[in-house]
Structure 1
Amino acid sequence: MADYVIGDVHACLEPLERLLERLRFDPADDRLYFTGDLIGRGPQPVETLRFIRDLGANAESVLGNHDLHALAVAHGTGAARPSDQLGPLLEADDREPLLEWLQHRPLLVDVSGTRYSVVHAGIPPQWGLAEAHDRAREATAVLRSRQAPALFANLYGNEPAQWQLDLTGWPRLRFIINAFTRMRFCRADGRLDMGENGPPEAAPAGLFPWYATPGRDLGALGRTLITGHWSRLGCRRHDGLITLDTGCLWGGQLTAVRLDSAAPAFTHLDCPTASEP
């Protein structure tokens, strides 16, 4: 039995299938975890969701920002863009069960039996792992409830940028979801900054990768986080962190890491260009 985590697929099913062949993935025994953004801007949203959903208990994915955008569009509160390539999904005969399955994905998941956890973007510097799980459960409960349409209607925006315990209502949920699914950079005081998406080495003065905010110690989380979301970060390893978005959608690579060996083992698959950044 093997546990694999795979970076952002973005509806690029053909590279995913080739990667699984290279891994010799056994759907009867192995487990897959995805870093989110299963769909969005890629060519096969319907087929990708069907394929991963039909793996059943052997596959799990956290939600990414593009997954949430697709759900908001489907609920009539998100503005669809041609580059999203969501038309086939929105017009599919089985759109409702596919979207319901997607909407029930978690925001943060521990890989059972290992020291690893998976989240799309990261965990903000104000939270430890226990609080991150609490906040993920809080937002997930609303996403899976009758309040979900109202949440999607209040999903978009970069404020509040700073976590406070006394945040309430939609601003509180917006911060939680932004942190888990959109965060890249923070200010020294932990405020989220959504204006930059380049590599950390090119960040303007005063911005820090969320995992390197002054005083941040990922090792204190007690588990290694595995994230996607940040294609210009690519595949990197830091103390307590593995990043896996290697730009499959942009003609880069699709990356998997196997977790059940003494050290994580990476597999990279070159991908044809599916879209333009």
Structure 2
Amino acid sequence: MKCPSTNLERLQCDQLLNAAEALLDERGLVSFRFAEMAKLASCSNHVLYKHFKSKEDVLVCLFLRNCTSNYMPIFLAQNPDIDARLLAAMPAIFSWLAVQRSPTFNTLRVVSINSLCWQLASDEKVNAMRQRVNLFWSRVQLHIEQAQQQGVLLEPENRVTEVTQALYFFLAGILSSFESQLMESRYLGEPQHTFYRQLTSLLNNYQWQQRFTVAELTQLGQRIEQFFERHYLENKSCRNCQRLNGLTDCRQITPEIAVLGAV
């Protein structure tokens, strides 16, 4: 199923996806029913099936609409003073805080990227998802590359991918561990403190011009939280999501695209 091409179709998609997200928040994934979306959104079944062929299409679209890759270009355009060293930590903190803001986003992240789910979605949604996942990876790697090139990260060029992988795998693990709610708190500790402490420790396993501290990463997190307070809901839309369609590398995001998302 193709993404909407007119303002009316985008409005319809947003209404349906807002309804789906509300149902997920209220009832959880297991009890979520595809057909209930239309009723809650006051749309006909014809409109529903015009935009989504299945529950899997909806889950993928909900994930895409909430992706941190949608928001980071806007944040960076509004915060050009963040130095290369802190930018290396920014994508991990951004994703952590996005999940804290919306636990449903983490459910979508875990479920929709599972091949048992996305393989059942339409080809267009699968392609969009592949692109957005790679867009996030490229964002993580870009800032590590920049830190290395500017002499902030004192590691050889051939270790850039290793640092990228370490950050990504750390993020996937800590999000899953806390959001599963299976482990007793004595094993995990208080979420925010544990996250910033472990992220600091991970980064300091590598050689930097200046070692990271929990305090400075926490301050960056507070800055990101303020951004979310002001801009999260207004940019959670099909329109904002669509502006990144076809992009697989964050270097393809022009200043015009970033500004478009902030409008």
From the two aligned structures, give the one with the greater strand fraction.
Answer: 1
More contact order relative to length (CA 8 Å, sep ≥ 6): 2
TM-score, with structure 1 as normaliser: 0.32
TM-score, with structure 2 as normaliser: 0.34
From the two aligned structures, give the one with the greater helix fraction.
Answer: 2
